[in-house]
Amino acid sequence: MHEDKNIEVFHANEDVFSKRESLVNFVSVCDVIVHLAGMNRGDEDELLETNISLGRKLIEACETSGQSPHIIFASSIQMSHDTAYGRSKRLSSEMFREWEARSGGIFTNLILPNVFGEHGKPFYNSVVATFCYQLAQGDGPEIIEDRTIDLIYVHRVVTIIRETINDSSEKEIKPSGLSISVSELLTKLNGFAGFYSEGTIPPLENDFDLCLFNTYRSFLYPKNSPMILTLHQDQRGTLFEAVKTLNGGQCFFSTTHPGITRGNHYHKRKLERFLVVKGEAVIRLRRLLFEDVVEFMVSGDEPCFLDIPVLHTHSITNVGDSDLLTLFWAHELYDPEQPDTYPENV
C-alpha cells in the first residue's frame, strides 16, 4: 500500500503486542486493522495459545481505547481442520465475530489458501519459499508428501485487502487459489532454475508463472548479482549475448551524461534488466520499507547484467567521464495506462 498516499500505514510488531499501553495506542489511531500476526508452526499448545492470545489482546485494546475499527483477519482454509493451527483460526474468528456484535465494529474474515511470494520464510511460511531457497542455495529439494495445494500470490492478497478497506460489506471473503501438486510445483521451479542459470529467461506462460519466477528470483538476490556475461572476441571486435528470452518483451538503449542518475522507482511485477554497454556506472537498490542500500559498480569493459528484483527501488548513475550507454530490457511492452512504475528515491 506504500504508493497509495490516501492510506497511512502503521505497523504493530511483537513489541507493540507485548505492551498493553502500546497496543492501545496503536488501535487508537487506526480506522482499519489488518490482523496478519500469528504463529504458523511449532509446539501445538504454544501455537494455539499464541494465536488466540493475539486476537484477545487486540480486542481488549479496542475496548480499552473505546475504538470500533474495521478488523480484517487473515484466517486460513485450514480453519476447518482439527489441528492447533486450524482451531486457532476458527476460535479467533469466533472471538472477532462476538466482538463485532457487541462493539459496533466491523469484522471481515479473510479465509486464505496457501500464500506465497517474495521474501517468504523458508521451512516456515510456504513450501514455495522452501523450494526457492533450496534451489537458490544449489540444494536439491525433496518432496515429503506429494499432494495438491491451493496457492495465492501475496500481491493478490494485498489487492483484496485494499478492496475490503474500501468496501466493508463482505463479512467473509474466501479467494480461490491455483491448485497445483507439490511435484508439479517443483518441476516448474526446477525448470526456472535451469533456464535462468544459463542466462535465459524461462517460459512464463501466465501470471502464475511470472509470480512464481519473481518469487524464485528474490532468493537469488543479492548473492547472485550481477551475472557475468561471456565476452566473445576475434579480429572483428567483441560480442556478448545481452538477453535470451522465450517471452519477447521490450529492449531499448539510453545514453546518460556524466553525473546524471536515472530510475529512482520500483516495480511490483515487471522483469527488468540493466546492462551497461559502454562507460562506468553504479547501480543502487533498496528493498521497499527497508533502509539498507546495495551498490553494484558496473562497466562496459566487463559486461554483466543485473535483473532488478521486484519491490526494490533502484537507480543507475553515470560515474564516468563520458556518456554512459545502457541497454534496458523488460519482459512486457510498456503500457502508459499500467506502467507498473512507482516513484521512490533509493
N residues, the chain: 346
pLDDT at 308 over 80: yes
Output phi, psi for 60, to 5 deg. -60, -35
- Taking residues 263-268, report their average pLDDT: 96
CB 150 within 8 A of CB 113: yes
Place of cell 480506522: 31
pLDDT one-digit tens code per residue, 2-52:
888 888 999 999 999 999 999 999 999 999 999 999 998 889 999 999 999
CB 22 within 8 A of CB 64: no
208: exposed, middle or buried (Cβ count in 10 Å: 0-12, 13-18, 19+): middle
Whole-model pTM: value is 0.90
pLDDT at 66 over 90: yes
Q: Output the pLDDT for position 317.
A: 97
Cell of 135: 534451489
pLDDT one-digit tens code per residue, 222-243:
998 999 988 888 888 778 888 9
Cell of 285: 537498490
Q: Output the pLDDT for position 331.
A: 93
Q: Which SS3 state, helix, strand or coil, does residue 216 take?
A: helix
Choice among 85, 153, 196, 221 that is catalytic: 85
pLDDT one-digit tens code per residue, 275-298:
999 999 999 999 999 999 999 999
Q: Which domains does the chain have, with CATH numbers?
A: 14-188 (3.40.50.720), 227-343 (2.60.120.10)
DSSP assignment letter at 206: S
How far does Cα 345 stand from its chain's mean position?
19
pLDDT band at 186 (very low <50, low <70, confident <90, very high): very high
Cα–Cα dist 76/101, whole Å: 22
Q: Count Cβ atoms below 10 Å from residue 105 Cβ, excluding itself.
A: 18
Q: Output the pLDDT for position 236.
A: 80
CB 132 within 8 A of CB 121: no
pLDDT one-digit tens code per residue, 194-214:
999 988 999 999 999 999 999
Residues paired with residue 265 on neighbouring β-strands, in sequence order: 314, 343
Question: In sequence order, what E strands does 146-198 have?
Answer: 148-153, 172-173, 178-181
pLDDT one-digit tens code per residue, 93-117:
999 999 999 999 999 999 999 999 9
- Taking residues 141-152, report their average pLDDT: 94
Helix axes 182-197, 127-136, angle to 10 degrees: 30
pLDDT at 247 over 90: no
User: How do 232-234 and 237-239 pair as beta strands?
Assistant: antiparallel
DSSP assignment letter at 302: B
- Of all helices (H) and strands (E), which one includes residue 25? helix 20-28
Helix/strand/coil percentages in the chain, nearest 5? 35, 30, 40
130: exposed, middle or buried (Cβ count in 10 Å: 0-12, 13-18, 19+): middle
Report the candidate in 274, 266, 271 with the shortest Cα–Cα distance to residue 324.
Answer: 274
Q: Output the pLDDT for position 42.
A: 87
Q: Output the pLDDT for position 1.
A: 84
Q: What is the number of H-type helices and E-type strands within the chain?
A: 8, 21
pLDDT at 155 over 80: yes
Cell of 321: 567521464
- Taking residues 65-80, report their average pLDDT: 94
Give the chain's radius of gyration (CA, Å): 23
Whole-number average pLDDT of the chain: 94
Cα–Cα dist 33/2, whole Å: 16
Concerning whether 85 is annotated as a catalytic residue, the answer is yes
